[in-house]
Structure 1
Amino acid sequence: MIPQYASALLISDLHLTPSMPLTAQRFFDFCEKDAPKVDAVFILGDLFEYWVGDDAALHSPFQQEVQRALATLSTKVKTYYLHGNRDFLIGTHFLSRTGMTLMPDPSKITLAGSDYVLCHGDSLCTADIGYQVFRSWVRKPWIQKLFLRMPLQWRRSIANHLRSNSGVKYQRSIKSTPQGAHAKTDVTVAACAAVLREQAGDQLIHGHTHLPAHHQERLQDQEWQRWVLSDWDLDHPEAVRPRASALMIDQNGVRYTDLIKA
């Protein structure tokens, strides 16, 4: 059954971690003050910088604090979660403790009378063939079971290594071919068209790329609108301007809400 609500806030790519306290505090404020004003909240992945298993939260005061904030929010408003590329190992234990409802990627919902297709966005970056191969492997249930059986410290070391390696490769590609690197890591029109055909929709919302914008797109005789959610970062103003926003959808339409000024 397709979820239907009169109003909703959609967020993604917060990459919560103890090393980004200002971003984390804005999320806690969002849960307490902003989110309860709508009928539903949709978190489209990468809530955490990385997730190596639900058991890790037992040893992390920070993750437990996030868990409590979500649990409180879920008592006030229906809260949905969709896996990202950094936290696709979030499992049933964490979801049950937070009260969130897990959605498949992609999912179709109805907000204020209009249909939207939601996804995290990494599956749409089909120009990055290497990443898509990696993604197909780490999403296999038997691979995940093997990983989750490893000692917690091993899992954290692997996650940190993958994050570091990914960052180095991206910076190298940016320096050598900046336009090509951005194109490779962005979604493709063909992938967007395909998922919308599959879901019988013409309005797409996703995160992952950290390139918030509203697009009017077309491929042959297929037309659609696409909204990209912002990532959140209030802790590194020296690198880029602070950013944190949500997509609000209600009877007044679709619009970005600046959560820095809120």
Structure 2
Amino acid sequence: MIPQYSSALLISDIHLTPSMPLTAQRFFDFCEKDAPKAEAVFILGDLFEYWVGDDTSSSSPFQQEVLSALANLSAKTKTYYVHGNRDFLIGHSFLKKTGMTLLADPSLIEIAGEKYLVCHGDSLCTADIGYQIFRGIVRKPWIQKLFLSMPLNWRRSIANRLRSNRHTQYQHSASKSTARNGMRTNVTLEACAAIMKKWSMDKLIHGHTHLPAHHHEQLGQQTWQRWVLSDWDLDHPVRTVPRASALSINNQGVHSIDLSKT
């Protein structure tokens, strides 16, 4: 049975980390003040900047604060979670402590009588062939089991190296054609069409790309709507415009709520 509610808030790509305190505080305020106004909250991945195992939370005051905020939210409002590309190792222990319910990627939800397909979005970036190969490898259960068996400092070192390499690749690509780089790192029309056809849906919501928008799309005779969630960043005003928003769905429709100025 798919989740059914009269109202919901959807967020993604918060990238929580101690080095981004303003973003983290806005998330804590969201959990306490904004989120309980809806019947359900859906977090569509990349809640954390990176996650190397549930066993890290006991030694991290910051992660304990996040855990507490989510547990308090889940006690008031049903909270769902979809794995992202940075925190797909969030496991049963963390979910149990926070009270969140894990949803598969993708999943169907029904809000205010309308059905939507939700996912993180990285699986739709099929023009980035190298990333899709990497994604297929790290999502294998035996690879994850092997990684989680390593000492914690090893895991953190590997995660930091992967993040550093990804950042270097991004800067290299950005120095080339902006349009071509945008096509490679964005979702493709073909991937969206395929997933919508497979699920017989015409409404898709995802994050990952950091390109918030509402699209009306078509491929051949197939048409659909696609909502892209915003990433959150209130700590780098020089590099980017402060961003934090949620997608609200209720009986009045779908609209974005700007949380960066409240």
Q: Same fold (TM over 0.5)?
A: yes
Alignment partners' CA distance in 2, 1:101 and 1:54: 16
Q: How far is 1:197 from its partner?
A: 1.3
What is the aligned partner in structure 2 of residue 164 from structure 1? 164
Whole-angstrom CA distance in 2 between matches of 1:199 and 1:40: 22
Q: Which amino acid aligns with 1:95?
A: L
Unaligned runs of 5+ in 1: none
**What's 1:141 paired with?**
141
Aligned-residue offset at 1:89: 0.1
Identify the residue that residue 252 of structure 1 maps to in structure 2. Answer: 252
Q: Which moved more, 1:174-183 or 1:228-237?
A: 174-183
Tell me, in whole angstroms, the C-alpha distance in 2 between the residues paired with 1:261 and 1:63: 25
Using the alignment, how far apart are the partners of 1:94 and 1:194 within structure 2?
A: 33
The percentage of counterpart residues that share the same residue type is 70
Mapped to 1, the partners of 2:18 and 2:258 lie a distance apart of 23
Counterpart CA distance in 2 for 1:201 and 1:176 is 36
Query: Across the two proteins, how many residue pairs are aligned to each other?
Result: 262
C-alpha displacement of 1:261: 2.4
Alignment of 1:102-117 (within 5 A): 102-117=102-117
Alignment correspondent of 1:203 = 203
Root-mean-square deviation (CA, aligned residues, Å) is: 0.5
Structure 1 letter corresponding to 2:36 = P
Matches within 5 A, 1:61-100: 61-100=61-100
Q: Does 1:232 align with 2:215?
A: no
1:178 paired with 2:167, answer no
Unaligned runs of 5+ residues in structure 2 are none
Instruction: Report the CA distance between 1:97 and its aligned residue.
Output: 0.1
After superposition, the C-alpha distances for 1:143-189 in whole angstroms (9 at most, x for unaligned) are: 00000000000000000000010001111111022211111000001
**Structure 1 segments of 4+ aligned residues over 2 angstroms from their partners:** none
* CA shift for structure 1 position 196: 1.0
Looking at structure 2, the residues matched to 176 and 42 of structure 1 have their Cα atoms a distance apart, in angstroms, of 36
- Report deviation, 1:85: 0.0
Tell me the secondary structure at the aligned position of residue 18 of structure 1.
Answer: coil
Q: TM-score, normalised by structure 1?
A: 0.99
Equivalent residue letter for 2:192: C
Supply the distance in 1 between the matched residues of 2:249 and 2:142 (Cα, whole angstroms): 38
Task: State the AA in 2 paired with 1:192.
Answer: C
Aligned partner of 1:79: which letter? T
> Post-superposition shift, 1:16?
0.2
Residue-by-residue CA offset, 1:64-103 (whole Å, 9 max, x unaligned): 1000000000000000000000000000000000000000
CA–CA distance in structure 2, aligned partners of residues 67 and 5 of structure 1: 24
TM-score normalized by the length of structure 2: 0.99
